[in-house]
């Protein structure tokens, strides 16, 4: 308890605003960072901001701890608990950083400017302008893939942002309340209480697990008349869910879903969506394809990532990006191929890794080291330059100055020897419902695959330790305790 209190006290102290933050120096290079997600924030955390004139641009003025987003859709965790204001992150830097809440709409690598639009609802406010950069980091993430399937954009909910989680939470309760409305027909009740999740990646699996928990632990208690009518179906085009996990954990997940009464439809691809139905094509063991129409009340679409328009537009301006499809191709220092002053991290970059939070945050931390080093070596280079000029002016001290130059050059060589980016995979974790999780972790050069209740505790503690701040950590723990003690809130 003493340790916990001390930790908490330190956490609260650490949140204090430093008084000694100094203003950015406009004569320094403009380092423009697009985004406030995993890549951008982990770069900002480690960047020595006093070396540059740092400008952050993002339409979202907070960092979102995405691993707990599925828990937000059912109220196990409240949304504010997993948001950290970007202002509070920036306030802790030694030199101030400018932040503009806006979307980057176009990047012009020739003129070295970014066009931005603040999409403000305030009438008369200026909303479109340009920001010049010397160095640019693109960390804008990706958008939801729909593969052009008709009806998806209009009728389904995604699960990427806080707004999506809030919309899902409202929609679940809307379906429940409408299903119990006076004189509702049995077919309509069945449709409204059919929750369909498309995509058996970690997002779809975690959401389906959380949703079934919400129903089993709470909704059923408050609305007993629908207890045998609520149904969750997970649709996946491939032969199994969670393809990034080992066979043993895939089997464990599928068995757990069976126990939880979540229906998994594998080898089934959704082809069309209407306001009330999903049309899916199932491939049988004999290769025969059959079309099914499934009525639904809530449809959550979790089929992975697609390239954002601003990134696609930038790629079209760079000939070296011609063959890249999934995002900005980068080299081993995360420099966008075909450019010298643009870097990319996370889901918008193609560096040969899966588009995960873990990859993005390691890339961001790498760029911070790279930029800190670049600033240091530039400072030494200018010292060497000054010393070399003084060599001619002070002929008496030649030997001494030459020695000093040599020492600086040695230091410079050491600093400049920065190794290329290398990703260290620490493992994959996913919650699968009914207080169970699956984990493929690498530890001490070994790989461990575990699933179950203990893994769930591991999942909880791992996610808790990854939360951005002590404030977030405390809020998440309180939310967990609250939903355990009082149940989740079933109000809309």
* Sites of contact with ligand NAD (CB under 6 A): 149, 198-204, 235-238, 243-244, 269-270, 302-305, 354-356, 428-430
Distance CA 333, CA 49 (A): 20
DSSP 114-163: EEEE----STT---EEEEE-SEEEE----EE--TT-TTHHHH-B--SSHH
Nearer to ligand NAD, 354 or 379 (CB): 354
Q: Nearer to ligand NAD by C-beta: 54 or 159? A: 159
Closer to ligand NAD by CB, 98 or 267: give it: 267
Which two structure tokens, joined as six digits, stand for 228?
A: 């045998």
What is the nearest approach in angstroms of ligand NAD to the Cβ of residue 260? 18
- Distance, in Å, from the CA atom of 84 to the CA atom of 86, rounded to the nearest integer, reads 6
Shortest Å distance, C-beta 433 to ligand NAD: 13
Dist. CA 111–CA 128, nearest whole Å: 17
Taking the least distance from each CB to ligand NAD, the nearer of 53 and 144 is 144
Distance of closest approach, residue 236 Cβ to ligand NAD, in angstroms: 5
Give 136 or 198: the residue with its C-beta nearer to ligand NAD: 198
| Cα-to-chain-centroid distance, residue 295 | 31
- Are 455 and 438 spatial neighbours (Cβ–Cβ below 8 Å)? yes
3-state DSSP assignment of residue 106: strand
Nearer to ligand NAD, 88 or 146 (CB): 146
State the nearest-atom distance from the C-beta of 488 to ligand NAD, in Å: 21
Nearer to ligand NAD, 179 or 476 (CB): 476
Contact residues for 359 (Cβ-Cβ < 8 A; gap 6+): 346, 351, 353, 423
- Which residue's entry shows tokens 């009740």? 189
E-strand stretches of 317-455 = 328-329, 342-344, 349-350, 427-433, 436-443, 446-452
Minimum CB–partner distance for residue 428 and ligand NAD (Å): 5
Give DSSP secondary structure letters for 20-87: --B---TTS-EEEEE--SHHHHHHHHH--GGGSEEEEEES-SEEE-GGGHHHHTTTSS-GGGGEEEHH
Q: How far is the CB of 173 from ligand NAD (least distance, A)?
A: 24
Taking the complex as a whole, how short is the minimal distance between the CB of residue 125 and ligand NAD, in angstroms? 35
350 phi/psi in degrees, rounded to 5: -115, 100
User: Minimum distance between the CB of residue 159 and ligand NAD, rounded to whole angstroms?
Assistant: 8
Question: Which residue has the CB atom at the shortest distance from ligand NAD?
Answer: 201
- For ligand NAD, the closer CB: 31 or 198: 198
Strand 231-235 relative to strand 194-198, pairing: parallel
CA nearest 66: which of 488, 356, 457? 356
**Smallest distance, Å, CB 203 to ligand NAD?**
3
Which CB atom, from 335 or from 462, has the smaller least distance to ligand NAD? 462
End-to-end CA distance of the chain: 37
Q: How far is the CB of 205 from ligand NAD (least distance, A)?
A: 7
Q: Do 363 and 39 form a contact (C-beta atoms < 8 A)?
A: yes
* Beta sheet of 113-117, edge-to-edge order: 103-108, 113-117, 128-132
* 133 vs 245 by CB, closer to ligand NAD: 245
């Amino acid at each position: 308890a003493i340790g916990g209190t001390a930790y908490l006290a330190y956490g609260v102290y650490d949140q204090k605003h430093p008084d000694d933050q100094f203003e950015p120096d406009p004569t320094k290079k403009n380092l423009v960072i697009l985004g406030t997600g995993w890549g951008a924030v982990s770069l900002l955390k480690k960047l020595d901001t006093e070396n540059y004139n740092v400008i952050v641009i993002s339409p979202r003025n907070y960092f979102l701890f995405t691993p707990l987003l599925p828990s937000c859709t059912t109220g196990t965790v409240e949304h504010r608990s997993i948001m950290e204001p970007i202002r509070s992150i920036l306030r802790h830097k030694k030199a101030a950083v400018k932040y503009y809440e806006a979307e980057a709409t176009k990047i012009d690598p020739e003129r070295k400017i970014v066009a931005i639009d603040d999409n403000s609802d305030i009438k008369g406010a200026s909303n479109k302008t340009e920001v010049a950069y010397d160095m640019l980091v693109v960390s804008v993430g990706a958008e939801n893939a729909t593969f052009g399937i008709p009806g998806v954009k209009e009728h389904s909910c995604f699960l990427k942002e806080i707004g999506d989680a809030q919309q899902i939470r409202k929609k679940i309760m809307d379906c429940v309340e409408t299903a119990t409305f006076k004189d509702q027909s049995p077919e309509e009740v069945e449709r409204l209480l059919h929750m369909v999740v498309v995509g058996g990646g970690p997002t779809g699996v975690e959401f389906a697990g959380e949703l079934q928990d919400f129903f089993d632990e709470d909704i059923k208690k408050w609305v007993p008349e629908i207890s045998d009518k609520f149904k969750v179906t997970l649709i996946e085009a491939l032969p199994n869910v969670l393809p990034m996990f080992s066979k043993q954990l895939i089997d464990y997940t599928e068995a757990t879903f069976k126990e939880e009464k979540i229906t998994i439809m594998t080898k089934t691809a959704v082809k069309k969506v209407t306001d009330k139905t999903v049309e899916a094509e199932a491939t049988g063991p004999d290769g025969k394809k059959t079309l099914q129409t499934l009525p639904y009340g809530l449809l959550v679409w979790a089929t992975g990532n697609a390239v954002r328009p601003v990134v696609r537009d930038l790629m079209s301006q760079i000939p070296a990006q011609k063959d890249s499809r999934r995002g900005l191709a980068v080299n081993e220092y995360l420099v966008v191929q075909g450019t010298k002053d643009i870097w990319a991290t996370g889901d918008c970059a193609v560096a040969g890794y899966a588009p995960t939070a873990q990859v993005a945050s390691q890339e961001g931390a790498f760029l911070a080291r790279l930029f800190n080093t670049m600033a240091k070596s530039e400072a030494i280079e200018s010292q060497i330059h000054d010393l070399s000029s003084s060599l001619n002016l002070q002929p008496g001290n030649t030997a001494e100055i030459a020695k000093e130059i040599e020492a600086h050059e040695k230091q410079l060589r050491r600093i400049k020897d920065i190794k290329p980016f290398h990703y260290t995979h620490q493992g994959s974790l996913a919650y699968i419902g009914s207080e169970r999780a699956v984990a493929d972790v690498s530890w001490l050069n070994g790989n461990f695959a575990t699933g179950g209740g203990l893994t769930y505790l591991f999942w909880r503690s791992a996610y808790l330790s990854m939360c951005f701040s002590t404030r977030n950590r405390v809020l998440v723990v309180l939310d967990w305790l609250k939903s355990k003690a009082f149940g989740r809130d079933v109000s809309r």
